[in-house]
Structure 1
Amino acid sequence: MNKTFKLVIVGGGSTYTPGIVKSLLDQKDQFKLSELRLYDNFKERQDKVGVLVKKVIEMFDPEVKLVLTTDPEEAFTDADFIFAQMRVGLYHMRELDEKIPLKYDVVGQETCGPGGLAYGLRTINPMVEIIDYCEKYASKDYWIVNYSNPAAIVAKAMHKLRPNARILNICDMPVAIMRNMSNILDCDRKDIVPDYFGLNHFGWFTKIRVGEEDRTEELKDYVREHGYMPPDDRSEVRHNDASWKHTFDNAKNLMRMFPDYLPNTYMQYYLLGDEIVKHSDKNYTRANEVMDGREKRIFQAAEQYETTGEIDMTPFFTGVHGEFIVEVAMSLAFNLKKRHLVMVMNNGAVKNLPDDAMVEIPCYITKEGPEATRVGEIPTFFKGMIEQQEACEKLIVEAAIEGSYDKALAAFTLNKTIPSAMVAKQILDEMIEANKDYWPELK
């Protein structure tokens, strides 16, 4: 493991970047970087975050060369790994994704419901652009590890538009839930072996083992009473806001109604949508929480550091988010065949779902990519839920590729968070106007 790597973070201006960099440098003895490049089309924002990233490098591995750039050739030339975490439209567009649906008493959430469909339509073409840069400039064995949301839609679109791209789509939400599970079961997260099936942000844990010991029923009993809230205050900063605490707590209601499997927390938006809307503030959504919280804190910290040279970086070292993407990259780099939950084409893994569904299941991560495990058949309720959501995502991808208003409307209508075709049309038409600078034209 003496090889060194050139790594690019796309969306270098993200407030998560310092935490990801810290997770990378924590592994310098096994996964050594020679060069770290931050790439973003918003130079001013990236420069501010770059101040903190420079500090992280000074703290943990000053040998690493840091490059901040808005130039694709400079960013991607000979790159081995590309971590993609784009937020197209930034938090202004996320705020609209959340607030437009809420006007119609529909779930307002960044990756689920109409907000997720809107976000997907903004992200598809920029991700194609990143892949094309990699094909043109990067190492021939490059890997893109993609965190950009909504990951299910991005993954499905890339499989259609760039089927030969070396891209692995991942999500940290199951891992964040497993972190809480490990606190509940008093074990290390890395000792948890999950069985899981679904789509991204739309799935269920079927079995939880700690090493060889099956602890599923014990965990189910706990979640029915307490959700995924740990028995003490152990929790990652990123998921410590009131809205996240409510999300983890709400898992108990899902578990009580559908006791077969442990739910991904995002299932609350599809199964408890009316309750979510009832308890939402239509004028102050999660986007506002983030802008007034993490966003403000990190840019204030950058200014403080530039002014005084003093800074406490600890609040920005988001553990599981950065750890997971680095774990996956290391398994790709060194053919470790580690078992992780990632997104792959179904191809029979879930026997009674379409082969072209982009499922999230356990896979072994090799140097050639993910090797899927076999899930077998799933029960009718879960199959029906997934097929409806998968059809919705397939239609929104086709709408983006074909510029089809009709397919976009069909996708919005199929989404379980939206109660009728009339409401779907109202939301879609308002979102078209809000996204005119980002979406492909829909005719």
Structure 2
Amino acid sequence: MKKYSIVVAGGGSTFTPGIALMLLEEQDRFPIRKIKFYDNDGKRQETIAKACEIYIKENAPEIEFSYTTDPEEAFTDVDFCMAHIRVGKYAMREKDEKIPLKYGVVGQETCGPGGIAYGMRSIGGIIELIDYMEKYSPNAWMLNYSNPAAIVAEATRRLRPDSKILNICDMPVDLEEKMADMVGLKSRKQLDTQYYGLNHFGWWHKIYDNEGNDLMPIIRKKMAENGFAGAISQTDQHVENSWMDTFAKAKDVYALDPETIPNTYLKYYLFPDYVVEHANPEHTRANEVMEHREKHIFEVCNNIIEAGTAKGSPFEPDAHATYIVDLACAIAKNTKEKMLLIVPNEGTIENFDRTAMVEVPCIVGSNGYERIVQGAIPQFQKGLMEQQVSVEKLTVAAWIEGSYQKLWQAITLSKTVPSARVAKLILDDLIEANKEYWPELK
């Protein structure tokens, strides 16, 4: 049986241990011979990697493990690159969130001006990874789940259109698990769904079980009552307040179009006044993450390193990240699994821009993907998507051309921003904050 070699790009991420453990758990269907971590921040990566190395030695000694900041070493002899990078780390995320809030605008990691700022930092990093992969392992596939996925996907379409990269997001996976829970099923794998939209900006319009029974009536009823908050299971009790609010607010997002089930991120675009009102400009989601998950993961890693053993450590496999293995298996074994990917539209949504990077179900196999046609979409969704896809396209054009004008237009066009004047104030602050990361804008 073939065993695979993987490089995790973003080896210093707090999500990396959960992904490494998940890969070990999935060995029966996705056997691994080598795991490598790659990051351009060697010091940060070292703590995560040393702890994971101890864990892997104790639990899967047959797997070769290494970590490096050298691209050639990282990308030579790999079958898959699993990419989840965060250019600028949480310090820059904090600025993405706090600068817009200063002007009464949504401050969020992937939506509105904060998402645009993050996208402007991410484009160069992802293109660099693709180039390393193609240089050192030209037959490898990149499974990219780096945020903001919509802007990153549009950049790869424009700049590396022939690359073997699949852009994917875990948010629909999480929401499908919640919908399965609503109808009494054990797993999202027991659902057969149809979905259309952009990343963090989409709607389910058909949901069946594997026997073909229509589940939409039950799910609609539950959404009207509690949004997704009613599907927080016992295992989700650690969900932070900010996420609980998002799951509950889905009830109001759903009310705008009760024919479909919305992605939770639509709250930022449809209720920006509510979001700003309930935000603390001094203490945002980035601060929550730094104070909790970031601190916790590095403490656990340091304890493992100090003890020289991972036995009894609270490390857990990231169960919902099994979708990454589903995707890798689909390519490696030609399983023809149906998965939501971010791909060029090309008629999948018939009344929408053919060049838009849309999030739709695809059948994935060893030669890539085949889109599943979603037909024409309603005017409400189409109008919202036209506006948002223009934001994404203008952002990528601004990065490629170094255009201040286009980035100002992108921020002005975001549904979260009230006027061109406010957009310009935010943009000028973001330029100052991102001097080290963005191309120079003229």
Q: Is TM (by shorter chain) over 0.5?
A: yes
Equivalent position of 1:191 in the other structure: 190
Contact 1:352 1:377 in 2 (8 A): yes
Letter matched to residue 22 of structure 2: S
Tell me which moved more, 59-68 or 383-392. 59-68
Equivalent position of 1:381 in the other structure: 380
Letter matched to residue 182 of structure 1: A
Letter matched to residue 32 of structure 2: L
Equivalent position of 1:306 in the other structure: 305
Contact 2:55 2:310 in 1 (8 A): no
Aligned length: 439
Q: Which runs of 5+ in 1 are unaligned?
A: none
Q: 1:312 to 1:185 in 2, by over 3 A?
A: farther
- Alpha-carbon separation, structure 1, partners of 2:233 and 2:29: 32
SS at match of 1:339: strand
- How far is the alpha carbon of 1:214 from its aligned partner? 1.3
Equivalent position of 1:101 in the other structure: 100
SS at match of 1:214: coil
Letter matched to residue 222 of structure 2: Y
Letter matched to residue 81 of structure 2: I
Q: In the TM superposition, what whole-angstrom CA distance separates every residue of 1:210-238 from its partner, at most 9, and x where no partner exists?
A: 2122101110100111111245633447x
Contact 1:26 1:60 in 2 (8 A): no
Equivalent position of 1:171 in the other structure: 169
- Alpha-carbon separation, structure 2, partners of 1:226 and 1:56: 40
Equivalent position of 1:429 in the other structure: 428
Equivalent position of 2:322 in the other structure: 323
Letter matched to residue 224 of structure 1: A
Equivalent position of 1:438 in the other structure: 437
Equivalent position of 1:149 in the other structure: 147
TM-score normalised to the size of structure 2? 0.97
Contact 1:22 1:60 in 2 (8 A): no
Q: In the TM superposition, what whole-angstrom CA distance separates every residue of 1:270-304 from its partner, at most 9, and x where no partner exists?
A: 00110000000111100000000110001111122
SS at match of 1:145: strand
Tell me which moved more, 183-192 or 358-367. 183-192
Equivalent position of 2:339 in the other structure: 340
- How far is the alpha carbon of 1:170 from its aligned partner? 0.2
Are residues 1:229 and 2:264 paired?
A: no
Q: Which runs of 5+ in 2 are unaligned?
A: none
Equivalent position of 1:6 in the other structure: 5
Q: In the TM superposition, what whole-angstrom CA distance separates every residue of 1:63-117 from its partner, at most 9, and x where no partner exists?
A: 1111110000000012110000000000000000000000011000000000000
- How far is the alpha carbon of 1:256 from its aligned partner? 2.0
Equivalent position of 2:73 in the other structure: 74
Equivalent position of 1:83 in the other structure: 82
Matches within 5 A, 1:230-379: 230-231=230-231, 233-236=233-236, 240-308=239-307, 309=309, 312-314=312-314, 316-320=316-320, 322-379=321-378
Q: In the TM superposition, what whole-angstrom CA distance separates every residue of 1:412-442 from its partner, at most 9, and x where no partner exists?
A: 1001000100000000000000000000111
SS at match of 1:109: coil
Are residues 1:161 and 2:159 paired?
A: yes
Contact 2:300 2:314 in 1 (8 A): no
- How far is the alpha carbon of 1:52 from its aligned partner? 2.8
- Alpha-carbon separation, structure 2, partners of 1:162 and 1:314: 40
Equivalent position of 2:112 in the other structure: 113
- How far is the alpha carbon of 1:207 from its aligned partner? 1.5
Equivalent position of 1:201 in the other structure: 200
TM-score normalised to the size of structure 1? 0.97
Identity of aligned residues (%): 47
- Alpha-carbon separation, structure 2, partners of 1:428 and 1:245: 30
- How far is the alpha carbon of 1:306 from its aligned partner? 2.2
Q: 1:225 to 1:407 in 2, by over 3 A?
A: same
- How far is the alpha carbon of 1:311 from its aligned partner? 5.5
SS at match of 2:229: coil
Equivalent position of 1:45 in the other structure: 44
- Alpha-carbon separation, structure 1, partners of 2:152 and 2:206: 28
Letter matched to residue 259 of structure 2: D
- Alpha-carbon separation, structure 1, partners of 2:231 and 2:353: 40
- Alpha-carbon separation, structure 2, partners of 1:236 and 1:349: 35
Task: State the superposition RMSD in angstroms.
Answer: 1.4
